[in-house]
Amino acid sequence: MTVYDYVIVGGGTAGCVLANRLTANGRFKVLMLEAGGEPKSPWIPIPAGFSKLLVNTRYNWRFQTAPEPNTKGRVIAVPRGKGLGGSSLINGMIYVRGQPGDYDAWEQAGAKGWNFQSMAPYFRKLEAYQHGGEGRGREGPMNVHRVNEMYPIAQAFLEAARQDGQPANSDYNASVQEGFGYYQVFQKQGRRWSAYDAYLKPIRRRANLEVVTGAQVQQLQMAQGRCVGLRYRVGEREVTVQAGREVILCAGTIQTPQLLELSGIGREDVLRQAGIPLQHRLDGVGENYIDHFATRMNWRLRNTLTLNEMARGWRLGLAVAEYARRRTGILTLGTGLVHGFVRTRKELATPDVQYFFVHASYANAAERILDRHPGMTLGVSQLRPKSVGSIHIQSADASQMPAIKPNFLDAEEDRQSMIEGMRIARRIVGQPALRDYIEAETSPGQGVTSDEQWLEFARDNGQTIYHPIGTCRMGEGPLAVVDSSLRVHGLAGLRVVDASVIPTMVSGNIQGAVMAVAERAADLILQEAV
């Protein structure tokens, strides 16, 4: 049986960071296990290719929520990346650090030492921000670039925000998040820049790193209160490996608690129902599931071209030629063009709602099918939701999807932030700068005016925007799963490093936060290994 110092479960965002950092000094033998495959799709490096990958079962697990009354019994898609690079292969590439108070709240919730002062150096460490600025990193592995495709309708939207009294903000990742401007994205020379590109691809030849793809981990192996290894399957073959130092779970917010429960670690009633003997009781496993919920408001436009027309027919042919020649144009665009961070109530110290503007609209958002007419979309999302759900296994079969219950819109604060965020969005679009462009509001439509109608629209149409966290919460107390060093409470040799450890939501897209967590975790692991 092969023995490794560290066995990393999951080759996604956090796993790629750890594989790089833990093998850098050459002292430790590291095995990375990834259930997906190599990132070979030609759509991956093309930023606009995300629309193809989000419906591709080779690169997306295509999880779904259980039907819940808060969202009218709808089944909601929960995309998760599959393959080396994880969700950084298929996401919208948007980079948001969040607000300093987010990380201070982690510490206040029991995650000692995880305040913003301790996290800021790791954001700088991972960044190579092309536009510079105080407090920004310039030499990190993750290339960050401000969106540079500036279309007339986007400029008009920014002017409308100014007319509404909203501040301009060219760097929301600096000291102040509030305001409007162009998003920052993980791209390099017009191509997607994933965690695989930045962290794993450059080190694949290191002699002390072994990467196995197509490896579905079945169960952790325990002995006398310690995780000593695991069992995984490749095709029909089962393999057992030992970890001399640690097994590190980087399987993400959905699959990390799933694997813990399959191994008998979690809530006794959940395990009993699945027919799994209890190995170690941890009541917080699978609890504290939090995600960003969003509505998409749409307008039919006039007097301008939008992606709806530019992404079909002869215009698409021109766009492909432009991208092939210069790496510019519509194929460099992801899920957001212009950002907005707003306070829905003046008494709030910081923004509580995020906007995603793009000059496109979908006839079928789930399948990424664009409208035939010119359109634009404004995504509206509450930044720090208080509604909390759960993720738990339904059987002892590792291939069966767990029950995902987000409990969206359960908290009154969440409902009010969403309602006011949509109202402000309509008010901004109604400013003079957009008057010549707006033909009609198509969703939800001008007939929606009361709180009840806005909330009904959200319940009928809202979706996750793919930022699940929290199911192996970091901290202390009966529902904490890992301590402040990310070690699983009550067990030796087992650590969790992924979005599942984040105790409370980050104000924005979470990929940057996950990378910073992994960078800091690598330092903690190496400090303990001396």
pLDDT in tens, 350-403: 999 999 999 999 877 666 678 889 999 999 999 999 999 999 999 999 999 999
What token pair was written down for 112?
């000692």
| pLDDT at 148 (0 to 100) | 87
What token pair was written down for 326?
């210069």
| pLDDT at 481 (0 to 100) | 98
Residue among 459, 440, 463 nearest 451 (CA): 459
Please state the domain extents for the chain.
Answer: 1-143+191-290+390-407+467-530, 148-182+293-382+409-461
| pLDDT at 54 (0 to 100) | 87
How large is the greatest C-alpha to C-alpha distance in the chain, in angstroms?
A: 71
What token pair was written down for 433?
């700068």
The Cα–Cα gap between 374 and 337 comes to 16
Q: Give me the torsion for CA of 421, 426, 431, 437, rounded to 10°.
A: 130
Angle, CA of 180, 364 and 188, to the nearest 5° = 45
The Cα–Cα gap between 530 and 525 comes to 9
What topology does CATH give the domain 148-182+293-382+409-461? Cholesterol Oxidase; domain 2 (3.30.410)
φ/ψ of 266, rounded to 5, equals 155, -150
CB-based contact 254:9 (threshold 8 Å): no
Output DSSP code: residue 175. Answer: S
Active site includes 467?
yes
In the chain, helix, strand, coil percent, each to 5?
30, 25, 45
The Cα–Cα gap between 304 and 151 comes to 9
Q: Is 377 helix (H, G, I), strand (E, B) or coil?
A: strand
Does the predicted model carry a pTM greater than 0.85? yes
CB-based contact 311:363 (threshold 8 Å): no
Through-space distance between the first and last CA atoms of the chain, rounded to whole angstroms: 25
| pLDDT at 366 (0 to 100) | 63
In the set 145, 373, 467, 489, the catalytic residue is: 467
| pLDDT at 51 (0 to 100) | 86
Q: Is 77 helix (H, G, I), strand (E, B) or coil?
A: strand
Angle, CA of 471, 172 and 470, to the nearest 5° = 5
Other CB atoms within 10 A of residue 382 CB: 27
Angle between helices 152-163 and 412-429 (to 10 degrees): 110
CATH number of 1-143+191-290+390-407+467-530: 3.50.50.60
DSSP 447-471: T--SHHHHHHHHHHH-EE-S--B-T
Residue ranges of the chain with per-residue pLDDT less than 70: 1, 365-368
| pLDDT at 324 (0 to 100) | 92
Residue among 343, 417, 360 nearest 386 (CA): 417
